[in-house]
Homo-oligomer: A and B are copies of this chain.
């Protein structure tokens, strides 16, 4: 995009992080494969980040073990232990605040949270389809890919977006298409899409940390990004 469009933008939602790694709070509910991908990218130097807190919504999910095995501070905050989503959200964001995170990264986290004002534009999510296809309430995990296969789509993909108080709703940061091969089933599609997610999610974090993301209406742009 031209610089002109950038200067006309409404919101520069995220400040540049310079001279230090971006501090990520990672929210998980399941296997923690997205978390492991972040750790790989941090280890290889592709992602200049650190993870001062992982919050899991379930006690016994595999991600909790993986997170602890990796030596990450790991907290379990279960919805069932709170009266309602307001109380749950307060607990989650209090922990994230204490850990002094820059950005909250939902990594297969299944609860809808109420995002407090100081975390606006600081919570992102990834969805395994090209929003607005196959998104919203009821579309999570494998259901997304089953629906895509049932509709017979030839292109699916993934979407990184700002999280707000509705499912899969905030401005889109980045989307990546995935070709659905003939005869592909939901499990195979999940693998193909996850391969793209592994690239797209760190890329979205890098773009945010660059301070170059702008929001205009419901559309985001990035000063430095070429076409994508």
Given contacts A152-B220, A155-B157, A174-B154, contact A1 B181 (CB under 8 A): yes
What is the distance, in angstroms, from A226's C-beta to the closest C-beta of chain B? 8
Contact residues, A145-193 vs B (CB, 8 A): 149-155, 157, 159, 171-172, 174-177, 179, 181-183
What is the distance, in angstroms, from A145's C-beta to the closest C-beta of chain B? 13
Residues of B within 8 A of A176 (CB): 155
Flag if B183 contacts A155 (CB, 8 Å): no
Q: Oligomeric state, in number of copies?
A: 2
Q: Which of A2, A151, A174 has the most CB of B within 10 A?
A: A151
Q: Which bucket holds chain A's interface residue count?
A: 35 or more
Residues of B within 8 A of A1 (CB): 181-183
Chain B residue at smallest Cβ distance from A155 = B175
What is the distance, in angstroms, from A174's C-beta to the closest C-beta of chain B? 6
CB of A221 closer than 8 Å to a CB of B: yes
- Docked Cα-Cα span, A134 to B157, in Å, equals 16
Chain B residue at smallest Cβ distance from A176 = B155
Q: Which of A16-24, A37-45, A76-84, A125-133 contacts its partner? A: A125-133
- Docked Cα-Cα span, A171 to B152, in Å, equals 7
CB of A218 closer than 8 Å to a CB of B: yes
Q: Which of A150, A152, A179 has the most CB of B within 10 A?
A: A152
Flag if B182 contacts A221 (CB, 8 Å): yes
What is the distance, in angstroms, from A169's C-beta to the closest C-beta of chain B? 10
Chain B residue at smallest Cβ distance from A2 = B183
Residues of B within 8 A of A225 (CB): 182
- Docked Cα-Cα span, A217 to B148, in Å, equals 13
Flag if B131 contacts A132 (CB, 8 Å): no
List 10 additional A-B contacts (Cβ < 8 Å) besides A152-B218, A154-B172: A1-B181, A131-B133, A131-B151, A132-B133, A152-B172, A152-B217, A153-B172, A154-B174, A182-B221, A182-B225
Chain B residue at smallest Cβ distance from A9 = B183
What is the distance, in angstroms, from A78's C-beta to the closest C-beta of chain B? 33
CB of A28 closer than 8 Å to a CB of B: no
Residues of B within 8 A of A177 (CB): 155, 157, 177
Residues of B within 8 A of A153 (CB): 130-132, 172, 175
